[in-house]
Amino acid sequence: MPTPFQLEICANSVSSAIAAQAGGADRVEFCQNLEAGGTTPSHGQIVTLKQHIHIPVHVLIRARAGDFLYDEREYEEMEADIRFCRDAGCEGVVIGLLHANGRIDAERTAALVELARPMHVTFHRAFDRCANPFEALEEIIACGCGRLLTSGQQNTAEEGIDLIRQLVQQADGRIEIMPGSGVTPSNIQRLARETGARSFHSSAKETEASRMVYANDAVQGMGGARWVTSKKKVRELADLLQSL
């Protein structure tokens, strides 16, 4: 029997992660600053979340927005965050490091995988910025990562279906290939059927207006709407996968 499909929801707050669980998510990738591609949440957020949900929590370890070429101080920060997540009882971490030439930073990746044990390690969409996806996949497997999040080196997973299918075939069960980026109720079943993937990543987000009654419109860039996880969208995604 094939393994059940899994739905991972990228949640940018404790409240969003709770909504993801209520909607039927199998696990949460926990981050903040989703509008900038996601960065590591605070220690306080991680501790609070672990007190409120029972599904697995995989924490994004990303020191800053921007590229995936990290200096020594940023690498030390990521090491410290991984230690904290391990001690806090998190089930996994999500990492991604590249060299300037577009190759996987295999030495540092392998070191972080070892540091993270016994947590699960996912290599994130830094992969989608690498120079040679097939070579990179083998390097990521050799580093000990258990899952690869990818949009098939396109802006969305639907656009990257062909490469994702090839990666699933190349991986041959040695690592889980998880399509992500632009995964919605309108395409998740197509992605499942055409790629052979068994796990899918979505933010299932919606825009929530500010609840402030007073606002000083002369000051820009503070306040306003924010992204939150939609319990309804998560439920729809989960139901679609379960119906396959």
1 lies in some domain: no
Q: How many domains does the chain have?
A: 1
Residue pair 157/183 in contact by the 8 Å Cβ criterion: yes
Residue 209 inside a domain? The answer is: yes
Amino acid code (one letter) for 137 = L
pLDDT digits (tens, 9 = 90+) for 34-76: 989 999 999 999 999 999 999 999 999 999 999 999 999 999 9
Structural contact between residues 200 and 25, judged by C-beta atoms closer than 8 angstroms: no
- How do residues 79-107 score in pLDDT, each as one tens digit? 999 999 999 999 999 999 999 999 999 99
Name the residue range of residue 17's domain. 6-242
Residue whose C-alpha is closest to residue 149's, from 126, 182, 173, 172: 126
Distance of CA 6 to the CA centre of its chain: 13
| CA-derived radius of gyration, the chain | 18
Tell me whether the omega of the peptide bond preceding residue 118 falls within 30 degrees of 0, making it cis.
yes
Q: Closest by alpha carbon to 187, among 149, 228, 159, 162?
A: 159
In whole angstroms, what is the distance from residue 185 CA to residue 219 CA?
37
- Token pair, residue 88, equals 């806090």
- Residue 33 located in a structural domain: yes
CATH code at 128?
Answer: 3.20.20.380
Give pLDDT tens digits along the chain (244 positions). Answer: 456 899 999 999 999 999 999 999 999 999 999 989 999 999 999 999 999 999 999 999 999 999 999 999 999 999 999 999 999 999 999 999 999 999 999 999 999 999 999 999 999 999 999 999 999 999 999 999 999 999 999 999 999 999 999 999 999 999 999 999 999 999 999 999 999 999 999 999 999 998 889 988 888 878 888 999 999 999 999 999 999 9
